[in-house]
Amino acid sequence: MKLDFRAAGERLSQLSMLRVETAGPIVHLRLDRPAKRNAINDELIAQIHTAFANLPSRSRVAVVSGEGDHFCAGLDLADLQEQDVADGVLHSRAWHAAFDALQWGPVPVIAVLHGAVVGGGLELASAAHLRVAEGSAFYALPEGQRGIFVGGGGAARIPRLIGVARMTDMMLTGRVFDAQAGQAIGLSNYLVADGEGLAKAFELAHRIAANAPLSNFAVTQALPRIADASQGDGLFIEALMSSIAQGDDAAKERVRAFLEKRAGKVSKE
């Protein structure tokens, strides 16, 4: 199904806290609330949901970053004061819907992390498919100190990156990981110098955009589901997914190109 790019473009240009720009096959979304360190309030979570549900049909990869000195300070704590228990459940489910739209949307998503990547900011980062961190990045889950719990999918996604034991430590003790430690434990895939995150993300995005779309789809949609399935179910899904991908014309042409020596070999960088 093709989305109407003009309709989607109109919706995207009306977002007040999320700046959306397209550059060829790449759509770049910036959290644009630097005065509040990109803290996510109800409006911003709705805008993130809208944006990922309406990505331009021509975009092949999305890059998410934060304006100002920090990626994201997490939940806007001012919102919490008004909430009762029933509001709280719905609030958490709204975050789930937004980050599900990001994780299970049509394109791979790369998050560029700098400064604070804390609370809901880390939950957002963990929903992305790849994370590029700059040297200034630091990670924390201050929910424990604030008397609350993660509610934006972090309990499901963060242990899949770093394990339950490390997340338990972060939440119970307030432990903060710097960019190097974050890279070592798997919070980021790439660690680059300050100011170089976007360039690295765009380089990766161009590489990803050059893949066959169905391969990217299999990696982002099938792989995590297979990892969550029993081995038997996972292997069955793998067989179906691989036959679908390999039956596509794009795969046939790429394999032919290699056999006819028109495609690159695998080499060390």
Contacting positions for ligand 1HE (CB under 6 A):
36-37, 39, 69-70, 73-78, 95, 116, 118-120, 142-143, 146, 148, 150-152
Smallest gap from Cβ 152 to ligand 1HE, in A, equals 4
Smallest gap from Cβ 32 to ligand 1HE, in A, equals 14
Catalytic residue among 67, 123, 134, 269: 123
Instruction: Say which residues have a Cβ less than 8 Å from residue 221's Cβ, sequence separation at least 6.
Output: 104
User: 257-266: b or e for each residue (b if 16 or more CB lie within 10 Å)?
Assistant: eeeeeeeeee
C-beta of 60 vs 114, nearer to ligand 1HE: 114
Catalytic annotation on 143?
Answer: yes
Report the C-alpha gap between 43 and 54 in whole angstroms: 16
CB of 86 closer than 8 Å to CB of 52: no
Strands 109-113 and 61-66: parallel
Smallest gap from Cβ 57 to ligand 1HE, in A, equals 30
Smallest gap from Cβ 31 to ligand 1HE, in A, equals 12
Smallest gap from Cβ 53 to ligand 1HE, in A, equals 19
Catalytic residue among 143, 203, 253, 269: 143
Catalytic annotation on 203?
Answer: no
Phi/psi for 136 (5° steps) reads: -80, -10
Q: Which residue is nearest to ligand 1HE (CB)?
A: 119
C-beta of 96 vs 254, nearer to ligand 1HE: 96
At position 106, the amino acid (one-letter code) is: P
Please give the torsion angle defined by the CA atoms of residues 245, 248, 250 and 251, in that order, rounded to the nearest 10 degrees: 50
CB of 21 closer than 8 Å to CB of 51: no
C-beta of 138 vs 190, nearer to ligand 1HE: 138
At position 46, the amino acid (one-letter code) is: A
C-beta of 175 vs 206, nearer to ligand 1HE: 175
> Among all chains, which residue has been given the structure tokens 């790449």?
26
C-beta of 106 vs 142, nearer to ligand 1HE: 142
Helix ranges (DSSP H) in the chain: 5-13, 42-53, 77-80, 85-103, 120-127, 143-146, 154-162, 164-173, 179-185, 197-209, 213-217, 223-228, 231-247, 249-259
Residues known to be catalytic: 123, 143
